[in-house]
């Protein structure tokens, strides 16, 4: 077991951090003059379109990013130990990393499980409490990609099927890191629509702009990580029709990272504590965001 646990686990996402920051600064420089021009035009026309970068917003995103690295080290270490125990003692077989079909299967499996987790995080309030931090910015740029949650408890659970199926634990996180690296480039308005065949199969900036939109037509759509085919298969796909309004349906209006990370947990506690019936307490925790007593899950508008 120790040999499996101490396998040389290299994290591609960790190696990509300097490139994340580099591309963020390149985008920042590219949109600076454009944002000033757009802002002047918007003010003259009476429109309000938030574009570019804001110092306070970017600082909050970077603080959450570096905080997530620290929290990730704790969660991943615990999860990796758990996966190793399952892989060594409970898996009926062990898949070989030397077989290219293993890599294909794990890439697809990780992406499908990410879609499942991502949909859960939007439709169950307890999951949303952690995930909403990533959606809290009214800006959409490469710093938004780094605006990561600190509460990674569910990610420990979501990958459990893989070690049971004999996937080496180090491979799970290696492939998930590849998935995360792919998702970085999705967070930009500088890349417009890509070739039609590419947009049909892969998640793209256009698809992900929809996911970050708070407009009613865009809410809870396009959960994909790498492959948009999951959204097409499970009927959660929405094409980009117009520039989204980014952020939460109820703006948080703060750059305090503690409020951004844990504010929704506090609100869940307050709602559940105020509720008199057990079913209402559970509804506030496990119902969809925006749920209130007297509503069914299907009648709740996405948040």
Task: For residue range 157-201, list pLDDT tens digits in order.
Answer: 999 999 999 999 999 999 999 999 999 999 999 999 999 999 999
Nearest alpha-carbon partner for 177 in 69, 64, 66:
69
CA–CA separation, 301 and 253 (whole Å): 22
Q: What is the pLDDT of residues 130-156, one digit of tens each?
A: 999 999 999 999 999 999 999 888 888
Per-residue pLDDT, 301: 44
What's the CA gap between 144 and 60, in Å, rounded? 10
Q: What pLDDT does 249 receive?
A: 93
- 230-251 pLDDT tens trace: 999 999 999 999 999 999 999 8
Give dist(CA 88, CA 4) in Å, integer: 8
Residue 286 has pLDDT above 60, yes or no: yes
| Summary mean pLDDT of the chain | 89
Q: Could you tell me which residues are beta bridge partners of residue 227?
A: 202
pLDDT at residue 303, as a whole number: 45
| pLDDT tier, 31 (very low <50, low <70, confident <90, very high otherwise) | confident
Q: Is the pLDDT of residue 44 over 80?
A: no
What's residue 295's pLDDT? Answer: 67
Give the separation between CA 126 and CA 246, rounded to whole angstroms: 22
Residue-level pLDDT at 161: 96
Q: What percent of the chain has pLDDT over 70?
A: 88
Element of type H or E holding 21: helix 12-45
Q: Which of 154, 199, 163 is nearest to 1 (CA)?
A: 163
- Taking 50 as the threshold, does the pLDDT of residue 118 lie above it? yes
| Confidence label for 51 from pLDDT (cuts 50, 70 and 90) | confident
Q: What is the pLDDT of residues 53-102, one digit of tens each?
A: 999 999 999 999 999 999 988 888 899 999 999 999 999 999 999 999 99
pLDDT of 52 reads 87
């Amino acid at each position: 077991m120790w040999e499996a646990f101490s396998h040389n686990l290299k994290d591609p996402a960790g190696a990509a951090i300097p490139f994340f920051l580099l591309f963020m600064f390149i985008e920042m420089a590219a949109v600076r003059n454009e944002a000033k021009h757009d802002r002047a035009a918007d003010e003259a026309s009476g429109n309000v379109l938030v574009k570019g970068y804001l110092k306070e917003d970017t600082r909050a995103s970077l603080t959450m990013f570096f905080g997530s690295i620290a929290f990730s080290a704790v969660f991943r270490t615990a999860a990796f130990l758990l996966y190793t125990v399952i892989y060594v003692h409970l898996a009926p077989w062990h898949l070989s990393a030397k077989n290219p079909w293993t890599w294909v299967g794990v890439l697809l499996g990780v992406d499908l499980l990410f879609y499942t987790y991502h949909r859960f995080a939007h439709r169950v309030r307890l999951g949303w409490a952690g995930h909403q931090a990533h959606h809290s910015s009214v800006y959409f740029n490469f710093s938004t990609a780094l605006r990561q949650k600190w509460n990674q408890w569910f990610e420990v659970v979501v990958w459990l099927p893989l070690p049971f199926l004999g996937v080496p634990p180090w491979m799970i996180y290696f492939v998930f890191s590849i998935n995360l690296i792919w998702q970085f480039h999705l967070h930009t308005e500088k890349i417009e629509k890509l070739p039609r065949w590419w947009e049909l199969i892969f998640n793209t900036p256009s698809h992900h702009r929809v996911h970050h939109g708070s407009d009613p037509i865009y809410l809870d759509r396009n959960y994909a990580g790498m492959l948009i085919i999951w959204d097409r298969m499970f009927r959660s796909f929405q094409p980009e029709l117009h520039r989204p309004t980014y952020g939460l349906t109820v703006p948080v209006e703060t750059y305090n990272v503690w409020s951004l990370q844990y504010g929704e947990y506090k609100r869940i506690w307050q709602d559940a504590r105020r509720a008199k019936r057990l079913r209402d307490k559970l509804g506030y925790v496990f119902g969809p965001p925006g749920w209130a007593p007297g509503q069914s899950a299907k009648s709740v508008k996405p948040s």
